[in-house]
Amino acid sequence: MLVVVSFFKGMTMNKKRRLDHELLSRPETCILIGNGYMSENVIATLVWSRNIRLFHWLNVITLSLLLIVGLIIYNAKSFGIAIEGKILLKTIHVLIGYVFAVNLLFRIVLGFVGKGFERWAEMLPFNKNFMQELKAYKQGEKLAYKGHNPAGKLMVALLLSFMVIQTISGLVIAGTDIYYPPFGQYFSKSIAIDKNKLEQIKPYSKNNVGPQAYKDMRAVRKPFITAHVYSFYSLLFLIPLHIFGVIWAERKERSALVSAMITGYKYLPKEQDKE
């Protein structure tokens, strides 16, 4: 039995060494080492799982589209967009928002049930040693990090917080604005004069809409609009800051930080890979 276990363990170790050799032998890696950008005393270390990379890039795509469409909607009057155009843009915005929300929910759940750097304990700045990590980071005591460095953890916490606010407020606004799920049915009933004819309630239409009930609904949604707008501007500020931080950290750490979110692998000092 011990022989069989040792055999498979040996196969796993050999497979890892072969993969490390293949990654370090890639032309792009050789160029980086040859130009002095990366040391030869590094090892390819799997950090970001396929789940993390899938979430990240789907999040990049959907959030970018939401920001672009959101800006157009916000400036619809300046662009001379008619009511029908605004309804179409809001519908597109909401549909993209559903994909964004499902992807974000997937990431939240993954943070509790995932492995390694999928888990929140490895991603967020809430562990008991974080202040020590941050102090060491500021003093430059550690150059390369297997996961996010302390500044990266703070940025992840901020980005996720504002994305959650965007999602919740956006779903409420979708229900009060164009009567889409999950809250559209509830708000339609709350403003309907005849609750048996909910199909008559349309965006920007007064058919079957009680004036006072509609006014009350708009009052309910007002804080959600405020939260949506301010979290929107916060993300517009944080995203370029995040990109700048990644570029700066890449130049400092030289661990293939950018490509790691594509391949999953960072190039770390050999002694650090064992941590």
Tell me the chain's radius of gyration from C-alpha atoms: 25
Query: Residue 64: which region, alpha, beta or left (left: phi > 0; alpha: psi -120 to 50)?
Result: alpha
- pLDDT of the residue at 156: 95
d(CA 228, CA 78): 20
Report CA torsion sign: 181, 183, 185, 188. negative
Q: Is the pLDDT of residue 24 over 60?
A: no
- Fold adopted by 51-254: Fumarate Reductase Cytochrome B subunit (1.20.950)
Query: What residue ranges do the domains of the chain occupy?
Result: 51-254
More confident residue, 41 or 175: 175
Q: What is the pLDDT of residue 33?
A: 43
Is residue 133 exposed (0-12), middle (13-18) or buried (19+ Cβ within 10 Å)?
A: middle
Q: If 0-12 CB within 10 Å is exposed, 13-18 middle and 19+ buried, where does residue 137 land?
A: middle
Instruction: Point out the least confidently predicted range of 28-42, 163-177, 228-242.
Output: 28-42
Instruction: Kindly list the distances between the CA atom of residue 160 and the CA atoms of 57, 87, 115, 241, in Å, as whole numbers in the listed order.
Output: 15, 28, 19, 14
Is 89 in contact with 69 (CB distance < 8 Å)? yes
129: confidence class by pLDDT, cuts 50, 70, 90:
confident
Average of per-residue pLDDT across 63-76: 93
The amino acid occupying position 134 is L
The pLDDT > 90 percentage for the chain reads 63
Alpha helices in the chain (DSSP H): 2-24, 27-34, 50-74, 76-79, 83-113, 120-123, 130-138, 150-177, 184-191, 211-253, 257-263, 270-273
Phi-psi region of 80 (alpha: psi -120 to 50; beta: other; left: phi over 0): left
| pLDDT score for 272 | 55
Amino acid 269: pLDDT: 80
pLDDT above 70 covers a percentage of the chain that reads: 82
Indicate the pLDDT class of residue 6, thresholds 50, 70 and 90.
Answer: very low
At 31 the pLDDT is 41
Q: Provide the pLDDT for residue 104.
A: 98
Identify the residue with better confidence: 102 or 133. Answer: 102
Query: Which amino acid does the sequence have at 156?
Result: V
Is the model more confident about 202 or about 21?
202
DSSP string, 123-155: HSTTSTTHHHHHHHHHTTS----SS--HHHHHH
Q: Are strands 265-269 and 42-46 parallel, antiparallel or unpaired?
A: antiparallel
- How confident is the model over 173-217, as pLDDT tens digits? 999 999 999 999 999 999 999 999 999 999 999 999 999 999 999
Structure confidence at residue 143 (pLDDT): 67
Note the pLDDT of residue 9.
Answer: 45
Q: What residues have CB less than 8 Å from 245, skipping those under 6 apart?
A: 151, 152, 155
User: Per-residue pLDDT tens for 218-272?
Assistant: 999 999 999 999 999 999 999 999 999 988 888 877 778 788 999 999 888 865 5
